[in-house]
Structure 1
Amino acid sequence: MSEGSFCLVLHSHLPWLAHHGAWPVGEEWLYQAWAHSYLPVVDLVERLAAEGFADLLTLGVTPVLAAQLDDPHCLRGVHDWLGDWQLRAHGAASRLPDLAAREHRAARWALETFETRWRHGFSPVLRRLVDAGVVEPLGGPATHTFQPLLDPRLRAFALETGLRDTALRIGTRPKGIWAPECAYAPGMEEGYAAAGVERFLVDGPALRGDTALARPVGDTDVLAFGRDLEVSYRVWSPKAGYPGDPAYRDFHTYDHASGLKPSRVTGTHIAPHDKKPYEPERALLAVRKHALDFVDTVVTRLRELKARHGRPSLVVAAYDTELYGHWWHEGPLWLEAVLRALPEAGVRVTTLRGAVEAGHVGPAVHLPASSWGSGKDWRVWHGPRVADIVAGNEAVQRALLALPASADRDPVADQAVREGLLALASDWAFMVTKDSAADYARHRAEIHGDRFAELVAAARHGRGRARAADLRRVDGPFGHLDARDLTRRDSAAEDEERRCAS
């Protein structure tokens, strides 16, 4: 593998959607991503593993998503959804016979795959891939909170809760994390080191585009890997990318009677009713063309970096897993073509862990505050459009850190902390800023904040056990969560401050 190394990092994340509505956002969102992305992407990885591929990709699964992929309610829900998908295909057969036949075959495959390999949740599936050395797992904070805006004590608690949850599910505590929104604030590496995190992702501009090597951050051994935008944006960028090709299936156009998608993109400014029918053969030709283009782009980039640095270099391409299959119907086919073609072109396909072992590590660096959002700063999560959410989050944080310490475990306090973490999820501000189901996002931030305040008040008077139990059935991820871990951490920090002052 003379050209250099390539790391594919897939970030799998959806907010907590269980029991919070179905359509147009809510559980439907989860089930679509499950059917169209998680099932086919994992199937691809399993097939390549059976052929002898190893150290194939780095796969992040956020704790809040993993909780849903293992949750009995969601397992029943997605099974029903897959069956309904097959029925909808049947119902469209008289009007759209070709589309109905394709969708029926896809739904049947998804049902069989789920029933035979996923019936007990995703964790057993992922554990096998991790244990076999096929994928490297990434963890993260429990509910995908925007870490730079958190008090360090709460930041440490959320991260520890998430890492512990992943270890319970797959038997391995991740050494790497996908920092939510690739967000970073100076000094966060110290918290990572304390939590045993050895590597994390930032966006390319945080390293001023110098992403050819992982870099230790500050005075720690914690490594930052930068997303190579020159390569990553070939697939998905704010303005262009392969999924917008006219031959690919259009995500936004529906046959409203069946909910199936009959059209291809056709053109950028073509109205839905004027879009042409989807043609799988035409789309397959586009997949092959774009796979070759991507491989050429990676090889060219690696040669440029080798000439600049005088050593074999690294390209990290990182994407949301949901892009492959859910947003971009042909994405899994493209992904398979790329993963097969890169080694043939002399590129070593590996994981972030494998890149470290191969020596792709440079000198230490001090990083600026950054994210992978608009402007590469924090404006999406801390801008004027979300001032109300920011203010609400600050109030939740103050109340969380003011919870009284207790010698005994308190289910009311546990559920209060759970609701508080759900209120602090980065998704709500993102959806509002991007005007993507903004009303739903504001409602979710508000309802979790209200439930948190209600439980805190009840706990203060020794009440609320029945209410906490009811809410636990609705918002019940992270059964191991213990509010005392937060109050102990807070008390320890205060004791240390008093010792230093004296």
Structure 2
Amino acid sequence: MNGQYPKKNFLGQLAIVLHAHLPYVRKNEKNSLEEDWLFQAILECYIPLLQVIESSKIENPLSTKLTISLSPTLLSLLDNKQLKETFPSWIKTRIDFLNELPQKEKNASAFLMKNLNDKYFYWQECSGNLIEKFKLLNKSGNLDILTCAATHGYLPILRENPETVKGQINTAIRSHENIFGIKPLGIWLPECAYYENLDEILFNSGIRYAILDGHGILNATPRPRYGVYAPICSKKGVAFFGRDSESTLPVWSAKDGFPGNGVYREFHKDLGWELPLSNLQKKGISSERPLGLKYYKITNEKATLGDKEFYLENEAIKKAEEHANEYLLERSKQLKKLTLSSSFIPLLVAPFDAELFGHWWYEGPLFIYNILKNSSKYSIKLTNLKEFLTQKPNLQICNPSPSSWGQGGYHNYWINDANAWIVPEITKAGSAFVDLCSQKSNNDLSIRLFNQAARELLLSESSDWSFILRAGTTTELAKERIKRHLSRFWKLVEMIKNHSKINWKFLQDIEDEDKVFPDINIDDWRK
């Protein structure tokens, strides 16, 4: 294919892709650490992103274009009635903590109080239905919403049992269709991880495009003529977009990235670490942990947590606008160089974890807003992946290379000394389940047991636990999660094999706690 695109009155196109995901952290325990993960992400990331996209859509409907993947586990949490009912009281507890601060700190945290109230009102106005907000933006074309694997399973280590890969993908597609009313055409492969012939499974499941790390494109066969600046198409008919490191580095870089600027909010200095445990316990919080209440700024790279200065909101707002313009200026220079050397209009693909914007980098949503607002001033056309493909570009036929967006572009972050023990455990469970599914009977009890066993298998396969073990954070929680789901899986397998020994209370309890994927289909695991 010639890979050429029609000339337009802009230098090139930019596709910002956000990957929104949390593992299934629901736990029948109020004020749990897992509950905090979700609620802090809602407060600091998902609501702020929705707000800036909605505002930009009103002001600049044609240039408000983003791609976002919403993982099935995240969607199930956002759709959970119990969690929706709990979130307002969680916010009110944080407001109470701020009200109890000494006057000096209360003044410094005034912006945070305003923010908490603003997000609370937004939540109340939409009755906690953030999914409907995303759905409307998807329908208008401002967002292109992708799916992901069901529980963010790292697909290359599941390949020994292809049916487990199909189970991850088909469960995700069915869940997405059930929530949004349409089948997804695009997918965020967990950790952007790809292995040989995965495109065949994707295509057969109805997926038509995905994102890879630059390694997956640059090492494709044959080598792509336009590198990562144009998508390729596999022989099976799936388009793959490549991550442009130059477009992501200004945000991702731990050393030189924008989020490390001294005027931005300090992530690690949280009120939860500084209050006496007795104060937390009065509010029903049993252990010291982050509360999401941070009102100091980074100050400078040499400042210890005790040396941090109070956050100044206006200073940070101004800096976020400056950084957005700096980012756009550099992308326009990059695009100008690329268009000088080729006859096509290049595409820059910049994928990020969505939680970076707002949770890790408090000012991130404001940065996104300024990108949406000012891109046209720099002769850059914002697009999303679906819109780009509707332009019907001629794509070069190439086989993508095995890769991930982990360090070096390889799989070693998810297969190493800290977490390799997981692989044989989930492989053994996957093999047993695939064999068992081929003997499945159709009575109601059998289907109920099979369905819950499939859920536990999927939950044990989440790449989040491998990542945590490698990173060395909350490792005991990660180990406990893996062992919990595998233990439940094997107990269910024994019940399936021996109907006379069914523990009804056990079955009901785990159905209540691991209430995910109501439309799961065991046929996905059959050979």
What is the TM-score of this pair, normalised by structure 2? 0.89
- 1:180 offset after TM fit, Å? 0.6
The counterpart of 1:456, out of the listed 493, 501, 526, is: 493
Question: Equivalent residue for 1:499?
Answer: none
Question: Equivalent residue for 1:169?
Answer: 179
Question: Equivalent residue for 1:408?
Answer: 443
Contact 1:455 1:464 in 2 (8 A): no
Question: Equivalent residue for 1:111?
Answer: 120
- 1:282 offset after TM fit, Å? 2.2
- 1:452 offset after TM fit, Å? 0.7
Question: Equivalent residue for 2:44?
Answer: 36
Distance, in Å, in 2 between the alignment partners of 1:342 and 1:2 is 10
Question: Equivalent residue for 1:496?
Answer: none
Question: Equivalent residue for 1:307?
Answer: 340
Asked if residue 215 in structure 1 is aligned to residue 253 in structure 2, the reply is no
The counterpart of 1:243, out of the listed 259, 267, 278, is: 259
Question: Equivalent residue for 1:64?
Answer: 73
- 1:465 offset after TM fit, Å? 4.1
Question: 1:265/1:361 Cα in 2 relative to 1: closer, same or farther (>3 Å)?
Answer: farther
Task: Give the ranges of 4+ consecutive aligned residues of structure 1 lying more than 3 Å apart after TM superposition.
Answer: 20-25, 358-362
- 1:48 offset after TM fit, Å? 1.9
Distance, in Å, in 2 between the alignment partners of 1:268 and 1:52 is 37
Question: Equivalent residue for 2:402?
Answer: 369
- 1:454 offset after TM fit, Å? 1.0
Question: 1:468/1:368 Cα in 2 relative to 1: closer, same or farther (>3 Å)?
Answer: same
3-state DSSP class of the match of 1:106? Answer: helix
Distance, in Å, in 1 between the alignment partners of 2:146 and 2:470 is 27
Residues 105-158 of structure 1, C-alpha deviations (whole Å, 9 max, x = no match) = 111111110011142x33222221112222111012211111111121111121
- 1:82 offset after TM fit, Å? 1.4
Question: Equivalent residue for 1:486?
Answer: 524
Which of 422-431 and 237-246 deviates more? 237-246
Question: 1:361/1:148 Cα in 2 relative to 1: closer, same or farther (>3 Å)?
Answer: farther
What is the TM-score of this pair, normalised by structure 1? 0.93
- 1:27 offset after TM fit, Å? 1.1
Contact 2:150 2:172 in 1 (8 A): yes
Question: Equivalent residue for 1:130?
Answer: 138
3-state DSSP class of the match of 2:145? Answer: strand
3-state DSSP class of the match of 1:270? Answer: coil
Which of 77-86 and 142-151 deviates more? 77-86
Amino acid at match of 2:72: P
Question: Equivalent residue for 1:148?
Answer: 156
Which of 200-209 and 337-346 deviates more? 200-209
- 1:309 offset after TM fit, Å? 2.5
Question: 1:238/1:390 Cα in 2 relative to 1: closer, same or farther (>3 Å)?
Answer: farther
- 1:387 offset after TM fit, Å? 2.0
Question: Equivalent residue for 1:354?
Answer: 387
3-state DSSP class of the match of 1:480? Answer: coil
Aligned pairs for 1:425-436 within 5 A: 425-436=462-473
- 1:399 offset after TM fit, Å? 2.0
Contact 1:141 1:158 in 2 (8 A): yes
3-state DSSP class of the match of 2:27? Answer: coil
Question: Equivalent residue for 2:461?
Answer: 424
3-state DSSP class of the match of 2:251? Answer: coil
Cα RMSD between the aligned structures?
1.8
Amino acid at match of 1:57: L
Asked if residue 229 in structure 1 is aligned to residue 266 in structure 2, the reply is no
Residues 440-497 of structure 1, C-alpha deviations (whole Å, 9 max, x = no match) = 11111111111111111112111244422210110111111133x235x32xxxxxxx
Contact 1:199 1:223 in 2 (8 A): yes
Between the two structures, name the one with larger relative contact order (CA 8 Å, sep ≥ 6): 2
Question: 1:22/1:291 Cα in 2 relative to 1: closer, same or farther (>3 Å)?
Answer: farther
Number of residue pairs aligned between Structure 1 and Structure 2: 486
Distance, in Å, in 1 between the alignment partners of 2:258 and 2:173 is 34
- 1:52 offset after TM fit, Å? 4.8
Contact 1:90 1:100 in 2 (8 A): no
State the identity as a percent: 26
Q: Which runs of 5+ in 1 are unaligned?
A: 491-502
3-state DSSP class of the match of 1:380? Answer: coil
Contact 1:313 1:360 in 2 (8 A): no
